[in-house]
A and B are shown apart, each in its own frame.
Chain A
Amino acid sequence: MLRLLVAAAALLVVVLALLAGCHGHTSRHRALLPRSNAPGGGAAAGARIADLVITGAPAPSSAQRLYPGTRGDVALSVRNPNPFPVTLRAVRLPAATVYADGFADATLREPKPDCAATTPSRVAWVDKDSPASAHTFSRTVVVGAKATVLLIVRDAVSMETTAPTACAGAFFKMPSFAGVDAAVGGVPAGGPVTVTWRG
């Protein structure tokens, strides 16, 4: 039992040290580098922070499809390559004039020539009028360590009424995000997550 108490006390010290380290680190460095000047001869290395990777994913059948003059859902596959969870709060969108490319297949490999960004397809992000402005999700999305989450964003995409007929029954690779608002930490919930965003 004494061993148990000693072990618990040691764990407590470690957790307290971690807690103090996280809260005391107010600068926004991308990585915690090894501290070679630490007294006592020991050296600890923090993990580098890798970027999130967001790719298109086939939307579930319940997702709202696009029609001329309507809004539709977008499916995102958010992959966290880091060995710790990451909380995603918002995305930043590209400029208003950027349209999506249409594809004939869900894997986005077979382009539809008459439904390209240059046609234009007239498919774009909703609330795109403020380039690179942050669009906050209705709830935070926590992606577990080295995990991937399917994220459905409701009514995030619009199709203008002048969209060409060739864009019917197409899959769209949305214009790339300009950035995200994400930070280390959080408790992953798991499973597909459905959110909306505020402009």
Chain B
Amino acid sequence: MSQADHMPTRGRRLTRRTKIVAFLVGALMVATGAAASNWIVGLSAGSSGEAQSGTIANLTITASVPGANADVLYPGGPGDVVISITNPNKFPVTVTGFNLPTNTTYANGYTDSALTTAAAACSAATPSTVSWAFSTATSGSAHTLTSPLVVAATGAANNPLVVTLSDDAAMGGTAPSGCAGLWFKMPSFTGVVATAGGGTVTTSPATSGWTS
């Protein structure tokens, strides 16, 4: 048998040995590195982390169409106002009150509930004499709701929240006859008293309001 005949057999035997040795070495290296040891590592003084708070976005309040059972305005009497509160924040917001414009800031009258067709004979300048109840001569007067409203976070149920403000609109005794049978876009609030967070979210539609 020639030397050349031995070469393939020898070559295979060495390759197998090499593989076994390599496997053993590799396994031991993995074993030594896979687990933490008993050697304790400390912490540099003052080590800490960083967190971030969210920003606050303003609520949006728009007019909503009063239902069939809403109190309607007549000269010298109060009426219901329906609003829709949208909370764009990722957290609930609790509304506890509103700030009102002066008692001489009047509403514009419209012939349609969508508030698109103005009634020329019943505008704020006429004046319509329709204003917020309990508003004063001072702009920004604060009025606390009889029951707080918790508006859900954005994307959650009950946001926007439709609220009937009971008897919080007033029509003066001198209101022109052109204001009969109309819808009114109430003067804009000057502010809202609201805080982040709150308890149980208020179910829409809700009823609240101020009485003083």
Contacts and interface: CB of A to CB of B under 8 A. Distances in A.
B9 interface: no
Question: Sorted from nearest, which 8 A-B pairs have the closest CB atoms?
Answer: A56-B50, A54-B47, A87-B36, A65-B54, A184-B39, A67-B91, A169-B55, A69-B197
Contact of A183 (B18, B37, B46): B37
A172 B32 contact: no
A71 to B, nearest CB: 10
Interface residues of A, number: 79
- Which secondary structure dominates where chain A touches chain B? mixed
A15 B90 contact: no
A138 interface: no
A175 B32 contact: no
B49 A26 contact: no
Contacts of A163: 53
Interface string A4-41: 11001101100110110010011111101000000000
Interface in B33-77: 33-56
B4 interface: no
B49 A52 contact: no
Interface of B: 14, 17-18, 21-22, 24-25, 28-29, 31-56, 89-91, 195-197
A58 B35 CA distance: 30
Contacts of B25: 8, 11-12, 15
Contacts of B52: 58-59, 63, 65-66, 72, 106, 170-172
14 contacts: A1-B18, A11-B25, A29-B39, A49-B42, A52-B44, A74-B50, A75-B51, A100-B51, A161-B197, A171-B50, A182-B42, A183-B36, A185-B35, A185-B39
A173 B22 contact: no
Interface in A41-59: 49, 51-59
A28 B35 contact: no
A66 B18 contact: no
A76 interface: yes
A134 interface: no
Contacts of B44: 51-54
A74 B18 CA distance: 49
A183 B32 contact: no
A27 B197 CA distance: 51
Given A51-B41, A174-B50, 12 more contacts: A9-B21, A25-B39, A49-B41, A52-B44, A55-B48, A59-B50, A66-B52, A68-B195, A75-B51, A157-B51, A171-B53, A186-B35
A177 B47 contact: yes
Contacts of B53: 65-67, 72, 102, 123, 159, 163, 167-172
A93 to B, nearest CB: 10
B50 A52 contact: no
Nearest to A165: B56
A174 B46 CA distance: 10
B21 A28 contact: no
A68 B37 CA distance: 42
B48 A54 contact: yes
A130 interface: no
B159 to A, nearest CB: 15
Contacts of B37: 22, 25, 183-185
A26 B28 CA distance: 20
Contact of B51 (A32, A74, A89): A74
A51 B35 contact: no
Contact of A54 (B40, B43, B89, B91): B43
A70 B51 contact: no
Given A5-B17, A66-B54, A153 B49 contact: yes
